[in-house]
Amino acid sequence: MAARIMNLPKHGLCHLMRTSALARHYAGSTGSASPPQFTTLSVDDKTGIATLTLNRPPANALNAAFMGEIARSIKELEKSKCRGLILTSSSERIFCAGLDLKECYQAEASHLQGIWVALQNLWHTLYSTPLITVALINGHTVAGGGMLALSSEYRIMLPNFKIGINETMVGLAVPMWLIDTYLNVIPNRRVAEWDLTASRIYKSEHALKAGLVDELAASKEQGLERAVAFISSYPKHSLVARAITKRQFREKDLKNFEDNRQHDLEIFLSNIQKPNVQSYLGEYLESLKKKA
C-alpha cells in the first residue's frame, strides 16, 4: 500500500493515499472535518485500484451520513485518477441491507428528505462515475444494497447469499432510475418487470444464471482477485475512451433522473409518510428484531 500523496504516480493512474491521508484530503475538499466513519478505503499503487469497504454494523444499513461518505470517496477517487473501484463489506454476512429502516420509521420529514437526497446523490455518483466499478458482494444485498451492486459495472458474488430489489414488499414503488439501472443489467423487460413488481430476491447461484451477477467466487479473497483481474483487463490506453463509452450508455438514464429528481423526492416523501406504509414499516422492523 502506498504511504504518501503525490501528484502523478509512475504509472500515471492514481494518486497514492492511505486512509488517513484521504481523511485529511476530505477535510480540505468538502468542508467537512470529520474523517470517514463507516468506510475504509485503500488504494493499491501498483494496480491503481481502490477498495472501499462498507463498515456500518450490523447490516451496513444506509443512512445519510454513510451514503454521503461513499459518494465523497468516489468523487475523491475520480479526482485522484484512480483506475477502478471495488466495493465490498467488512461483514461476513451482509453486503448492504438497503436504507436504514429504523431511520425511516416515525421520522421527521426533514430527516426523510435528507435520506432520500443522499440516496439520489449516491446513485448518481456511482452510476455515472468514469471509474471501473466492481461490487464484490460478500453477503446479502437487498433494496438500496441491490442498487449499489446494480449500479456497478461488474458483480462478483459469494455463494448462498440473497440479492434483489424488494421495495414493493415494503409497500412502495420502485423509482424510474432504479428500474433503468435494473434494465441496464437485465435487459429482458418482462423478467425485469416481474422481478421488480414481485420484489423477487435471488440466491447467488440463481442470480448468476439470471445474469444479475457476473461471477461467483468461493471466498472474499478469490473475489478480490477476480475483481482486480476484471479491472486490469481494460488496457491503460483505453481508459478515457472506455469512460466516454460507459457514459454514453448511461446518459439517457442520468438525464431522466435529473429531469425528475424533485418529483422523485416528492413521491418518496409522500409515500413513506403514509400511515399504512409507516404501520407496515413498524411491523417489518419488529419482524427483523424477532429473528434475532
Ligand X SMILES: CCCCC/C=C\CCC/C=C/CC(=O)SCCNC(=O)CCNC(=O)[C@H](O)C(C)(C)COP(=O)(O)OP(=O)(O)OC[C@H]1O[C@@H](n2cnc3c(N)ncnc32)[C@H](O)[C@@H]1OP(=O)(O)O
Q: Which residues bind ligand X (CB under 6 A)?
A: 58-59, 61, 93-94, 97-102, 104, 119, 140, 142-144, 147, 162, 166-167, 170, 172, 174-175, 178, 268, 272, 281, 288-289, 291-292
Q: Is residue 278 a contact partner of residue 105, using CB atoms and an 8 Å limit? A: yes
What is the spatial order of strands in the sheet that 49-54 belongs to? 39-44, 49-54, 84-89, 132-137, 154-157, 215-216
The reply to whether 260 belongs to the active site is no
The reply to whether 166 belongs to the active site is yes
Comparison of 101 and 224: residue with beta carbon closer to ligand X? 101
Q: How far is CA 68 from CA 62, 89, 161, 210, in A?
A: 10, 17, 26, 31
Identify the active-site residue in 166, 184, 256, 260.
166
Name the residue with the smallest CB distance to ligand X.
Answer: 98
Identify the active-site residue in 68, 84, 139, 144.
144
Q: What is the dihedral of CA 62, 154, 18, 115, to 10 degrees?
A: -20
Minimal distance in Å, beta carbon 61 to ligand X? 4
Q: Is residue 86 a contact partner of residue 49, using CB atoms and an 8 Å limit? A: yes
Minimal distance in Å, beta carbon 80 to ligand X? 29
The reply to whether 52 belongs to the active site is no
Minimal distance in Å, beta carbon 196 to ligand X? 10
Minimal distance in Å, beta carbon 131 to ligand X? 22
The Cα–Cα gap between 74 and 60 comes to 17
Active centre residues (catalytic): 99, 144, 166-167
